[in-house]
Every structure is written in structure tokens, then in C-alpha cells.
Amino acid sequence: MNTFPMIDSHTHVYSYSENELKHVMDRAFKYGVSTIIDSSVDIASAQKVDKLSSENKNIFGGIGIHPQNLKATISKKEISEIYNYFSNNKKNIVVSEIGLDFQSNSPDRIIQYDAFRKQIGIARELNKPIIFHSRNSIKETIKILKEERAFEVGGAMHYFQSNLNIANEITHMGFKLSFAKPLLRNINLESVIKNISLEDIIIETDSAPQPFKKNRSNWTEPKDCKLIVDKIARIKGYQKDAIHQKIFFNTFNMLKNGSRWLETSHFM
Ligand SMILES: [Zn+2]
């Protein structure tokens, strides 16, 4: 049996040019990544995500507004546009990238709370999982996830870099933890992986063009999922094939929420 394909559960590949994306995808296939979830960060990028997911069978879409991209309170027009992207294209399957981001230059917290709550509301109404972002805001993120009953649709905390206590709190609500390249260098994350159930793990690269890295071959791409899975296999002491299969089904089952048409064949 061939190894199960990998699903990169969170990227921003809409930011590549059409020509470059073709090469990015070719490299991903070569390394065993069959599927890429491309997430928007605002309404303009949602349009690009929607186009890619409708035209490319290996790309699925995440539609949502990132907390860093909020200019003002999320409007009724924006909300109805988000709904439209889901109702017009069934390959948009997660509400993403949404969440809270409390850096010094981040938008006003009131605006962020409101947008996060409203987008969880969209996810609940459509029965779509969420992929959420949380930076310097884990307490507030967990509070909102609970108050808005986001666990009823499930999903994942993306780019997980936190500690075991947080990992346990998130997974006990029923969310997956999505691990990315920090796992390759962060020893604390290794101990999180050791101490959580394999059931709770999915992978992502969060990849987007990285012009600040001079050497093009160092840009993070979906193909790097292989490095992350290999590392998880080493930490967990499992055969690579078993880990591939497990992570595939963790991701598939999470994505299938509300997508009754979705079959494993869409990813193989
Ligand atoms: Zn992202």
C-alpha cells in the first residue's frame, strides 16, 4: 500500500503568482502532499482563495478575516460575502483564518472580539470547522471558544507553539492542534507531542511567499509537511506509514464536519 497522502491544513498559497504556484504544487506532490487548504485573511484574499479552490482540485478553501486584517468592525456586507463564498463553492470547507492577535500593532480588541464571535457564528450556522489563530491572547481565545460554543463545529488551533497545559485545554474542547515547522527546532514542542494523543495532531506549513529569505530554496512550502510528519514519527516512535495514515484521517475527519459530500478520494 502506498503511504497516505499529506494534507497541508493551513497555507496562504493564493499569494503566489499562478506560474510559481504550479511549481509549488509540483514540489508538494513530489513529497507526498496531495491537498492544500488555502486560507484567506480578508475579503480581497477570500476572492483569490475561492478562485483557486474552484479551479484546482488539490486546493480547498478557508474563508475568513484574520484579526490583523480588521480595519473596523466587521460589516454586514463582509459577513454576507463570507456566507456567499461558502454557499457558492462547496470546496470552501473551513472558516479561517480567524482568531485573536494581541501584539502592540494589532487592531482594537473590541473589534477583534466581535469579528471572532461573529465568524464562529457563521461556522456554527454552516456547520463548518474553524482554523483559529491566537497570539498573546490564549486566555481570551479559550474564553470566546467556550462562550460561542465553537467546539460544536470543531477545527484546529493553527501553528501551535504553546505549552502542554494549553494543548490539553484546547484538545479537551475537541479541537486538533496543528503543528508547523517550529516543531523542527523547538524542544518544548517535542515534549507537547510526546504527551498528547496522536488523535489530536494535524500538520500545516502556513506557507506564503517569503521574499525576505534571499535563498529561494529556504522558503517554507507545503512540501515541508514531510519534515513535520517525519519529526512527529520520530518523537512518537511510530512507523512513518502509521503516522501518515493517522494524521490523514485526523485531518479528513475534522474537515468532513458539515461536508457530507467529502470523500477520502478527494484527497488521494
Ligand atoms: Zn496563516
Domains and CATH numbers, the chain: 6-266 (3.20.20.140)
- How far apart are alpha carbons 206 and 160 in whole angstroms? 11
Q: Note whether 195 and 165 are within 8 A (CB).
A: no
Residue 2 has a pLDDT of 62
Residue 166 has a pLDDT of 98
- How far apart are alpha carbons 99 and 118 in whole angstroms? 11
Q: What is the DSSP string of 37-84?
A: EEE-SSHHHHHHHHHHHHH-TTEEEEE---GGG--SSPPHHHHHHHHH
Q: Ligand 1 centroid vs 94 CA: distance in angstroms?
A: 13
- pLDDT tens for each residue of the chain, 268 residues long: 468 999 999 999 999 999 999 999 999 999 999 999 999 999 999 999 999 999 999 999 999 999 999 999 999 999 999 999 999 999 999 999 999 999 999 999 999 999 999 999 999 999 999 999 999 999 999 999 999 999 999 999 999 999 999 999 999 999 999 999 999 999 999 999 999 999 999 999 999 999 999 999 999 999 999 999 999 999 999 999 999 999 999 999 999 998 889 999 999 8
Q: Ligand 1 centroid vs 205 CA: distance in angstroms?
A: 9
Q: Ligand 1 centroid vs 196 CA: distance in angstroms?
A: 23
- 3-class DSSP state of 173: coil
Alpha helices in the chain (DSSP H): 18-30, 43-55, 76-88, 109-126, 138-147, 164-172, 187-195, 225-236, 240-256
Q: Ligand 1 centroid vs 70 CA: distance in angstroms?
A: 15
Nearest to 206 by CA among 173, 175, 228, 188: 228
Q: Ligand 1 centroid vs 1 CA: distance in angstroms?
A: 33
Task: Say what the pTM is.
Answer: 0.96
Q: Ligand 1 centroid vs 167 CA: distance in angstroms?
A: 19
Q: Ligand 1 centroid vs 158 CA: distance in angstroms?
A: 8
Q: Note whether 251 and 7 are within 8 A (CB).
A: yes
Q: Note whether 70 and 115 are within 8 A (CB).
A: yes
- The total of other beta-carbon atoms located within 10 Å of residue 16's CB is 21
Report in angstroms the alpha-carbon separations of 261 from 1, 60, 91, 195: 25, 14, 10, 34
State the distance between the two ends of the chain, measured CA to CA, in whole angstroms. 13
Q: Ligand 1 centroid vs 142 CA: distance in angstroms?
A: 19
Residue 226 has a pLDDT of 97
Residue 1 has a pLDDT of 47
Residue 3 has a pLDDT of 82
- How far apart are alpha carbons 268 and 173 in whole angstroms? 29
Residue 259 has a pLDDT of 87
